[in-house]
Structure formats: C-alpha cells, structure tokens
Amino acid sequence: MARSAANDRREWARGFSLLSDATRLGILSLLAKGPKNVTALCRGLGLKQPTVSHHLGLLRMGRLVIGTRQGKSVVYTTDKAALKALAAALAKLTPK
C-alpha cells in the first residue's frame, strides 16, 4: 500500500512540475478552448515554433496533451483524464 502511495506522489510531482511553467500553462489554456495545431498555438502565445514545440513535447511525454496527425499537421488536445487526475490529487492535499 505504501509503495502505491509513493508511486502516486511521484506521478503527481511530475504532473505538477509540468504545470509550473507559464508557457505550458498558456498552451493548456489555449487547448482548453479546443484543439489547435502548432501554428495556432504560436499565434495565440506570441512565441516561435521551436519554443512551442519543445513545451508540447514535454506535455506529451507527461501525458497531459495528445497529438493527432491530420494530414501534414498535428492537432493537439488536452488529455482530460490526466488533468482531472491532477485536480483530484490536488483536492486530496486540500484540508477539509
């Protein structure tokens, strides 16, 4: 049981660390409004493509966003289940 709780805490820490960057929060905020490709995210954030792609890669590795190929581009969406799991983890840390 303690081993499972330790694994949960490691997963939470990894997810929360991904949320500790303003660019990644901006990406998630834009994606919360609907699916977007890198070009739309760059426009929305006012950042260059390499920067946005780097942060998208981190969010994908952390399983907070999902990329789906559509023709020659990739369209990104948030992984609602992963974000809900992080919200639930935060709720467990909130005093009652």
Q: Tell me, what's the pLDDT at 3? A: 58
Let me know if domain 2-93 sits in CATH 1.10.10.10: yes
For residues 50-60, b (16+ Cβ closer than 10 Å) or e, as one string? eebeebbebbe
Query: Region 4-33: what's the mean pLDDT?
Result: 91
What was the pLDDT predicted at 2? 53
Sorted by where each begins, the domain ranges of the chain are: 2-93
Q: Cα separations (Å) of 37 from 5, 24, 45, 95?
A: 36, 15, 12, 39
Q: What is the pLDDT of residues 24-79, one digit of tens each?
A: 999 999 999 999 999 999 999 999 999 999 999 999 999 999 999 999 999 999 99
Task: Let me know: does 28 contact 87? Beta carbons within 8 Å.
Answer: no
Which pLDDT does position 1 carry in this prediction? 45
